[in-house]
Amino acid sequence: MKNIIILLFSILMFSSFSLQETVQLFNGKDLSGWHVDVPALDSDPDKKSPFLVRDGNLVSMGKPAGHLITNEVFEDYKLQVEYRFAGKPGNCGVLVHASTPRALYDMFPKSIEVQMEHKNAGDFWCIVEDISVPDMEKRRGPKDEWGITEGKKRRIINLTNESENPLGEWNTIIVECKGNEIKVWVNEDMVNSGFDCTADKGQIAVQAEGSEVEFRKIELTPLD
């Protein structure tokens, strides 16, 4: 009986440890575990997807616009993304708590976007989901203009625009999602922190939004 208890305890401890292991969402070889949602491909399937793997990096070519979305849903995790604009400064983002596809402008999935646009990394954009931050009116604008749909003030400005590395160098964004809170670091600087998010789980997505951007790491570590 004692040996059985020890065995069961060992299995439980191993299972608990396994659940906390870091997962590489991008394997460096192909787009396994992801699917593409690009509206332009609906009418012209011969168009090339903007998402590809090149030299071990995931590349978003920027056009046609759309999203690369995980097949799985995640909650309570730390997401680490290493990216760079290799050619010229541009726009992109990583979306967390993504769900309903094409919920905004027939393009963006319902989600909270963590901005990666050059000089604005760490902004929140509310995409048919919402989140609160301290100094909300200062960072989002007049309260009566807030909203989560087309034409509303959906952008919440980050705390600093001085954290990005020079163009062409790799940047690291860490997004910590725990319950209804989201925290963001850019190159080790905390640049945003929100609470009362209207979602606490969902898929993860990266954008094709007009600019070429390379990703060398997208990894996820579950939180207790």
pLDDT at residue 13 is higher than 80: no
Query: Helices marked H in the chain — which ranges?
Result: 2-19, 40-43, 136-140
- In the chain, % helix, strand, coil (3-state, to 5) comes to 15, 40, 45
Burial of 95: CB neighbours in 10 Å, binned 0-12, 13-18, 19+: buried
> Residue 62 has what pLDDT?
96
List, in order of start, the domains of the chain with CATH numbers. Answer: 23-222 (2.60.120.560)
pLDDT at residue 11 is higher than 50: no
- The model's pLDDT over 49-98, given as tens digits with 9 standing for 90+, comes to 999 999 999 999 999 999 999 999 999 999 999 999 988 999 999 999 99
CA–CA separation, 62 vs 51, rounded Å? 8
pLDDT grade, residue 45 (50/70/90)? confident
- The model's pLDDT over 94-142, given as tens digits with 9 standing for 90+, comes to 999 999 999 999 999 999 999 999 999 999 999 999 999 999 999 999 9
pTM: 0.90
> Residue 224 has what pLDDT?
84
CA–CA separation, 82 vs 45, rounded Å? 30
